[in-house]
Structure 1
Amino acid sequence: MREQYRTKELHVEDLAPDPVEQFARWFEEAAEHPEIHEPNAMVVSTATPDGRPSSRTVLLKHYDDAGFVFFTNYGSRKGGELAANPYVSLLFPWHPVARQVIVTGRAVRTGRDETVAYFRTRPHGSQLGAWASAQSSVIDSREELLARYEELAARYPADEQVPVPPEWGGFRVVPEAVEFWQGHENRLHDRLRYVRTGDGGGAGEAGGPGAGWRVERLSP
């Protein structure tokens, strides 16, 4: 199976001064597209210290100049791998618009206050689910999981505040490189990658990257 992408070319002068602003532009467009159900769904790839990779889909919950934030159980597979090897990749696969964004960088834990603030915004059922699931651990059956959930639902009814699990929290991915991929015909895709400069950089050329970033065009 193969599809010919027919989209507008992506030029360096079209880019925002920094990758977070450029991501915001594309994210807004993805969010408005009727065929993209969850624009904040991303593939998070981690690896063990000896290089064995694993990937899963996670929802982005916040982004700003400091990085891209998601939440998880620190005892999960990804949590354990990030504790031992903080290097991570995020992939946003926006297929209906023939776009991808790939973020690579280091993951650092969010502060407890930030974690608690976000946890309070989650639906009651999702809060209970964070307690019910020892994420990535082996269980005997789904019935075991549901029984644990029902036990928690009885302990913390909908009108009662659910405490934040001690092993649950956020990771902020501090980007070192962000690639914007735009598909084109004949596999001649545009791949423009922001790379963080070591010294913070200068103001950047007109139409080019801003302070602290340079842009590279990659062969498709």
Structure 2
Amino acid sequence: MASLGVRPLLGAASDPGAQVLAADGAPNPWFDPSYVTDNWHTIVGHLGQHVRLTVGAVLLGTLLALPLALLARRTRLLSGPVLGLSSVVYTIPSLAMFAFLAPLTGPLSATTVLIGLTLYTLVILVRNFLAGLQAVPDDVREAARGMGYGPARLFLRVDLPLALPAFMAGLRIATVSTVALVTVGVITGNGGLGQLIVGGFNANFYRAEIVTGAVGCVLLALLADVLLAGVERALTPWTRARA
């Protein structure tokens, strides 16, 4: 990172032993293109980690949330406990979450952050997946069973297509939320673009580094949402025809 630099105050140069440094006089712009170009490889490295943690957490969360939603839809008595448990997990502060996971994962690492982020996605994914499954009309499912559809075929050919808009809405919200939450991983040294934000504060409030990290997170969230919206549009052509 480029040094901010300091300069002596006027009148202090005559006495080197009593020289006073004025950090406030050093250039400290909110955005500095030279910072981005000089630290491009570092920024890309943090961005790559941010993307890996986000994608990994959402994928793992999906693999956990879908069976839980199917179980809650199948057994009404479990709906409340499943939703309640996922909500309770989301209320656990990140520091406490990492402390709970440390005995399982060992020293705080990217794995610790990934597991924590995965658990945080469940409150969004389980609710949206369950809402989508419950919105599938019972008469449609009964008609499919009457046509000889088994459980797997019923899910793939009936439940999944009809619940897909709710599924994709949950994935979009969970992804954008996870992009923001990745930054809490800075306490383990695995915070993606959050490392730039904290690094800027540690470097005497270096604004260019802080803004680069913050703007990078915002742009990444917007890009992920646009990409998922495109995927949803491609997978649900009947919604466009109806609109």
Judge same fold: TM > 0.5, yes or no: no
Larger Rg, first or second structure (1 or 2): 2
User: Which structure is higher in strand share?
Assistant: 1
Q: TM-score by structure 2 length? A: 0.23
User: Which structure is higher in helix share?
Assistant: 2
